[in-house]
Amino acid sequence: MTTAPGAAQRLSRMIQIPTVSAEISERGSAPFEQFITLLEELYPGVHRHLERERITELGLLFRWRGADASLDPAVLMAHFDVVPVDPSDAWTYPPFDGQIADGFVYGRGALDDKGPLLVVLEAVESLLSEGFTPARDVYLSFGGNEETFGDAARTIAQTFIDRGITPWLVLDEGGAVVDAPLPLVRGLAAMVGVGEKGAMTVRLSARGDGGHASAPPARTAVARVARAVSRLSPGTFPARTPAGVTRMLEHFAARRGPAQRLYRLLAARPWLTARVFSRLGGEPAAMVRTTVAPTMFEGGSAANVLPSQASATVNLRVAIGESVAGTAERLRRRIADRKVKVDVLEGEDPSPESATDNAQFALIATAVHASHPAASAVPYVMMAATDSRHFHRFTPAVYRFAPLAMSSELRATIHGVDERVAIDELERGTRFHRALITGLGVAEPRP
């Protein structure tokens, strides 16, 4: 199988439509409607043979009827909105030109998440052209406001609940095929998210006496908020090793190499893993503890005027095993200042962890072998939030994996500068989804 000619051109056209959900109030909904219309043009078979529903203004749900209605369905997810671009950033090519150069398709959304969306549609369109019918129903769930934590995917998930449908498998964006995923680990690994941390936004605020800056009080509102933020160190939350991380280490412990003994030791001692990973910092530390990141400060209107109020916005990613309520209470205790108000603006608890000893994970591993034979499927815990979080509370098998190889340099372009995807990876990603869809008859109906 080869991807139909023009997959790169099709992705280029998708990228050229600026579906920036954070700017919908300025741009309006026209780009999103244009994108939805473009999908009809690019994938006529999908629109001719699958049933399509518009769920909320920005949600698309396609149903591909399978051969056996008694089997629970599979849900393949993606989103078609993208994050904004900082005009001051120096891109090699304009971010919404969809430039094809040097074996890549450049542009905002190439990796997050129009590229992964495209390979789903490429696989379905090609299978339809061959007259294929899946063993069970396949739903395609595409949202247009994932980047702004919108309600499209939430409403689609609620639609499944209302209709009494429990998917057999849900697969969304998340992990990728990476090289050297941990220190001293050699070779490719297809990192499959079996759970994800919760997301939480908190505002810290304080009031104080305003007035002229020439005679400040001992503790201004700005100083009080600044002190509160300074008390939120990386060690604010305890480090614990979730099961998904232990399973990841068990996998790497089975690989030959300089790290084999180390990861065997860590896999057998979760308490030691938590200590080591937290000291490594970065992604390893984020796997084992709740992270705290102050992102915005507000207060004051003039250089020589004391503001009567000040605030800071803090983004937290809540570790598996913890909760939004417990996290907020720990913040209050750590700040230890009753004059600093801690308000949870939004928050969702972390997901449960999906199994890896089941037919669903085995099918993903088989599809990985078809698309990236040198890689093996490895479970891990995802730090960012995805639309699949709306399914994991009623669906036992939810996974997060984009079937595209991404170097560390490429992963850094997600939400950054020069985001791009290798054209060859579009073919491999299509091959993955073809293998996944054609293998959906692997399980019997649930008793």
pLDDT digits (tens, 9 = 90+) for 192-229: 999 999 999 999 999 987 777 777 887 899 999 999 99
Average pLDDT, the chain: 93
Q: Which among 112, 125, 146, 322 is annotated as catalytic?
A: 146
Report the pLDDT averaged over residues 178-191: 84
Residue 445 placed within a domain: no
Q: What is the CATH number of the domain that holds 322?
A: 3.30.70.360
Residue 217 shares a structural domain with residue 318: yes
Residue 192 placed within a domain: no
Residue 157 placed within a domain: yes
Q: Which of 200-204, 262-266, 327-331, 423-427 has the lowest mean pLDDT?
A: 262-266
Residues 402 and 421: their CA atoms lie apart, in Å, by 12
Residue 167 shares a structural domain with residue 307: no
Provide the pLDDT for residue 118.
Answer: 98
Residue 254 shares a structural domain with residue 285: yes
Residue 75 shares a structural domain with residue 202: no
CA dihedral 66, 68, 74, 75 (to 10 degrees): 50
Residue 188 placed within a domain: no
Q: What is the CATH number of the domain that holds 424?
A: 3.40.630.10
- Residue 432 above 70 pLDDT? yes
- Residue 391 above 50 pLDDT? yes
State the pLDDT confidence band at 163, using cuts at 50, 70 and 90. very high
Angle between helices 423-438 and 114-129 (to 10 degrees): 50
Provide the pLDDT for residue 4.
Answer: 45
- Residue 302 above 80 pLDDT? yes
Q: Which residues contact 197 (CB under 8 A, 6 or more apart)?
A: 286, 290, 317, 318, 319, 320, 350, 381, 382, 383, 384, 385
Provide the pLDDT for residue 446.
Answer: 42
Question: Where is the domain boundary, 333, 348, 363?
Answer: 348
Tell me which amino acid residue 421 is.
V
pLDDT tens figures, 53-72: 999 999 999 999 999 999 99
The model's pTM: 0.91
- Between the ranges 111-125, 173-187, 294-308, where is the mean pLDDT highest? 111-125
State the pLDDT confidence band at 443, using cuts at 50, 70 and 90. low
Report the pLDDT averaged over residues 305-309: 89
Residue 386 shares a structural domain with residue 275: no
Residues 288 and 241: their CA atoms lie apart, in Å, by 5
- Residue 108 above 70 pLDDT? yes
Report the pLDDT averaged over residues 364-369: 98
Q: Which of 90-94, 297-301, 313-317 has the lowest mean pLDDT?
A: 297-301
What total number of domains does the chain contain? 2
SS3 helix, strand, coil % of the chain, rounded to 5?
A: 35, 25, 40
Residue 126 shares a structural domain with residue 266: no
Report the pLDDT averaged over residues 376-382: 94
Residue 68 placed within a domain: yes
Provide the pLDDT for residue 445.
Answer: 41
Question: Where is the domain boundary, 300, 325, 348?
Answer: 348
pLDDT tens figures, 258-283: 778 888 999 999 999 999 999 988 88
Residue 2 placed within a domain: no
- Residue 22 above 70 pLDDT? yes
Residue 20 shares a structural domain with residue 165: yes
Residue 401 shares a structural domain with residue 305: no
Residue 49 shares a structural domain with residue 105: yes
Question: Where is the domain boundary, 295, 330, 348?
Answer: 348
> Is 322 tagged catalytic?
no
Phi and psi at residue 279, in whole multiples of 5°?
-80, -25
- Residue 3 above 70 pLDDT? no
Residue 366 shares a structural domain with residue 380: yes
Residue 118 placed within a domain: yes
Report the pLDDT averaged over residues 293-306: 89
Residue 23 shares a structural domain with residue 141: yes
Residues 343 and 108: their CA atoms lie apart, in Å, by 33
- Residue 429 above 90 pLDDT? yes
- State what percent of residues in the chain have pLDDT above 70: 98
**How many Cβ atoms are within 10 Å of 91's Cβ, its own excluded?**
20
Residue 372 shares a structural domain with residue 332: no
Range of the domain at 285: 198-348
> Is 146 tagged catalytic?
yes
